[in-house]
Every structure is written in C-alpha cells, then in structure tokens.
Structure 1
Amino acid sequence: MTTTTRPVAIVTGGAQGIGAAIARRLAADGMAVAVLDLNLAAAEDCVRDLVAGGATAIAVQVDVADEVSVASAVALVAEQLGAPQVLVNNAGVLRDNMLFKMTTVDWDLVLGVHLRGAFLMSRAVQSHMVAANWGRIVNLSSTSALGNRGQANYAAAKAGVQGFTKTLAWELGPYGVTVNAVAPGFIATDMTRATAERLGVTFEDFQASAAATIAVRRVGDPDDVAEAVAFFVGVGAGFVSGQILYVAGGPHG
C-alpha cells in the first residue's frame, strides 16, 4: 500500500465506547470504515455521525463468534467498500463472577466473543491483506490479562488474545501484515459504568477510586485507546509487530 491509497478498515464492536472512538479516529485519518456490531441500530447511529462528518462508512451486523455471520459480514464489506486491509478486533462482553459462581454459559460467551471472535475475523480478512501484501490487525486485550479477581473468563480471553497476536505476527509478517495488541486499563465507558452498578457504587466514586491507583492519576478515555490503535495501523508502523501496548496510565506487563 502507498501513502495515497485509502485503506478500508473494519472495527468490530464499533457502535459505542472504545469501538466508536476507534472508528471516529480511523475515519478522521481518511480510512473508509465498516462499523461491525451485534447491535445494528447502534452501529447505524455511529455511522450516521461518521458520514455527517464527511467520512465513508457502513454499518454491518455481525456475531463475531459465529463463523457464517463473520464470513457474510466480511464479504459485504469487501463488496461495498473494497477489500479490508485494516482490522480492529474490539468486540467484547463482560460476565464477571467469582470462579465458584461462574457458569459455563458465561465462560463460553466471553471466550467466544473475545478470543473465537478475534480468530474468526482475522482468518476472514487475512486473505485480502495477503493479496495486497499489506495489512494491519490490532487486537484489543486488557490489563486483566495479567489477572483480575472475579474475571477468570475475561482474563483468560484477554491473555489468549496476546498469544494469538504474537503468533499471527509471525505467520503474517512475511506478507506485509503487522499484528499488534492494545491492552487498556480502566477506561470510562458504559461497560465500566455497568461494573460500578454491579458493585453498588456510583460511577464517579468508582472512577475516583481507580484513578488513585493509576500513575497519571486519572482514568482513561476511549480516545486514549483510539490514539494507540491509530499508531499501530499507520503506514509508519510497518516495523512494529507482535507488540502488546498497555494503555493504562502507568507501567504494566
């Protein structure tokens, strides 16, 4: 790819929160963006905002854990926007609980969306990237990959994403494709708000408590994550692959 070519980017879980911030950032960088989400109405809302700002974007419904759904979604993106050369695997869910309370349904759901989803999406787009001899895959991990009480499923999924990232970097590197991961810490989103509600504390107190443990003394914003993703997918990051970048306001990993 040359610097004058407009890449087509796919952002899963792109309808809101971190995903929407990433979609906005990539659109601002001149990419055509496919916002993929299980919630089609929310994805369409996001796309309306992007298009109103002058971007080229489409909304596509997908269940990233379903092989047929993924294949259909990627084919639709290729048909309507062109071959995808940037993939951000951001889709995720939380089903937190202590081990003795965690159900197999919640275990399978979280592993399915985060880890199986990243696998299915990456497998579906890699042929387009290999054909172009250029591509960027960014997977969303988390500081929870290092272990977090009450998140055995989420931690296992996010740790798995890191191993998956490093393996794909080896496999796809010879074809001009880089694969990296961004691992956010505490980011103020609807997901962390829901966690505060589950714990019975106000979101403001929850953020203040978290900020006190972070080196820069603030919680993160979705745009903080989007900036890191934008670096990894840029033309200038072609010699950076297989890396895990903790966007967490302090040293981790």
Structure 2
Amino acid sequence: MNEASVPQTVPRPVLFVTGGSRGIGRALVLAAAQAGWDVGFTYVSQAQAAEDVLQQAAQQAPQARVKAWQLDVCDPAAVDRVADEVLAHFDGVNAVVPNAGVSVNGLAYSLSDSDWRRVIDTNLSGPFYVCRAFLPELVSRRKGRILLVSSIIADGASGQAAYAASKAGLLGLARSLAKEYGPKGITTNVVAPAYFETDMTRDTMSAGLVDYANRFCPLRRLGELDELAATMLFLLSDAAGYINGETVRVSGGLDWAP
C-alpha cells in the first residue's frame, strides 16, 4: 500500500465553552460534540450536572473528546490556570464561547452592591478574562472563533439593570476584539437570544413574562435550545468566515423586552 492510499486522520477542532453544565452551554457542548468538535467546558458548582453532560456526550458522540473543569470565571487567575490546562489537554483550541452567566431580578434602586458586582463580574468581566486567556493561542494559529452570548435584554428591561448592562457591554467587547484581531484571522461575534427554555429562565421568568413572550413573539413560543445551538455552530464554522463584529439576534422576531 503506497502512502497516498493510507487514510489520513483529520484532527477534530477544539471548542472551549464556559457554563457548559446547563442551559445554552449544555446544548452547545452536546451539539458540538455530535458535529465533529472536541469540547472542553466548565461549571462553577454543579458537578453532577457536568458529569451528566459528559455521560450524555459519550453516548451521543463516542468519538468526541469531552472534558469538564470547575471554574469561577470571576477569578482571573483561575481562568488563566484552566486555560493552560485546556490547551495542554487538547493541544490547542480553535474556538471559544464564554457563555457562563447569572441574573438577579430587582429594580435598580434596591439592587445591592454585591448583586451588581456578581452579575457584572460573571457576565462581562468573566468573558473578558476568558478571551484574554485564549487570545495568544488563537493568534498563534492565525485563525479562530470567539462567540459571546448576549441577550435581547441588552437593549434594557425592567428589573434587569445589572443583567442588561452586562449583556450590553459584551457588544462593545466583541466589536473591539473584532477590530483588533480580525487581521489575525480571528472572528468575534455575538448571539443575542430572546427567551429560551433554560434553567435561568425557569428560575427567573415570571408567569407574566412567559405569557408576554408567547403572545408577542411572532412565532408565538419560546425558543428551543437546539435551534440556538445550531446558530452558534454556524457562527463557529468556516462558512461564517466573513462574519465579524456582528450581533445575531436569535429571537423568533421578538425585538424588545418589557
């Protein structure tokens, strides 16, 4: 058998996702593993949920390498440590999705300093720390994808001052990274989902808000996570190579929050 006839193994691309044990992150981890990616993901405290994701990934995509790390993205030193471990384990990373997020309900006048800091640190500073940690790797490859997870609430919503501010900040972060690192072959984009069936929406959405979403979304329903994951995988793919610095709303046509 000559060398040309020997089947060549194409390395699987590697995706890193924070907040991968539940909600949007979980859906993306599982969809990416099935779509041909190896995946590293993080969880902050739900070790059993992370183990469930690992088991489900092993069943659905046994050829994929999927590994979980415990990480609080508010801690920049911990982010750097986990990034080093991820890069060593997978021998590199091709795409990064800083997805971990929290929400605190409450009117602005009653929002405590600690709740404000927790939301901003998790939803805005955390993604910055993650991007900063992996940028040298992506730059060295001269190709890569960064995808930030915002929300239609970035335009403002009652009782969500901290969450809206954090998600709006991601838009500026993404556009800055797109300009700085586009010349290095790295695209940075944002998805801005509306209301999806997740742990966060179940825990924080009132019955009235669910009714609002179902009544005023042109599709008359909440989104399904596999729909969002598919959009995210497209933005991480080679097919999206000329999309940079953009915000893609995945909202079923719902264009504002009350």
CA deviations on 1:172-207 (whole Å, 9 max, x unpaired) are 1011100000000011111111114xx4x4xxx753
Counterpart residue number, 1:236: 239
Shift of 1:44: 2.3
1:166 lines up with 2:169 in the alignment: no
Match of 1:212, SS state, is helix
Taking only the aligned residue pairs, the percentage that are identical comes to 36
- Paired residue for 2:185, among 168, 173, 176? 176
Alignment of 1:60-99 (within 5 A): 60-99=69-108
1:135 lines up with 2:144 in the alignment: yes
- Paired residue for 1:36, among 32, 37, 42? 42
Larger radius of gyration: 2
Counterpart residue number, 2:217: 214
Counterpart residue number, 1:17: 23
Counterpart residue number, 1:145: 154
Matched to 1:232, the amino acid is: L
Matched to 2:50, the amino acid is: A
Contact kept? 2:194, 2:254, Cα under 8 Å: no
- CA RMSD, Structure 1 to Structure 2 (Å): 1.6
Contact kept? 2:217, 2:254, Cα under 8 Å: no
TM-score calculated relative to the size of structure 2 = 0.91
Give, in whole Å, the separation in 1 of the partners of 2:202 and 2:254. Answer: 24
Give, in whole Å, the separation in 2 of the partners of 1:251 and 1:217. Answer: 9
Contact kept? 1:34, 1:58, Cα under 8 Å: yes
Which piece of structure 1 moves more, 220-229 or 174-183?
220-229
Match of 2:216, SS state, is coil
Give, in whole Å, the separation in 2 of the partners of 1:110 and 1:41. Answer: 24
Which piece of structure 1 moves more, 62-71 or 206-215?
206-215
Shift of 1:154: 0.3
Aligned structure 1 segments of 4 or more residues deviating by more than 6 angstroms: none
Give, in whole Å, the separation in 2 of the partners of 1:82 and 1:8. Answer: 9
Match of 2:148, SS state, is strand
Q: How many residues align?
A: 245
Structure 2 unaligned runs (5+)? Answer: 1-9
1:52 lines up with 2:59 in the alignment: yes
Matched to 1:229, the amino acid is: M
Contact kept? 2:74, 2:126, Cα under 8 Å: yes
Match of 2:157, SS state, is coil
Counterpart residue number, 1:112: 121
Structure 1 unaligned runs (5+)? Answer: none
1:157 lines up with 2:160 in the alignment: no
Matched to 2:26, the amino acid is: A
Match of 1:35, SS state, is strand
Contact kept? 1:8, 1:82, Cα under 8 Å: no
Give, in whole Å, the separation in 2 of the partners of 1:182 and 1:5. Answer: 27
Match of 1:229, SS state, is helix
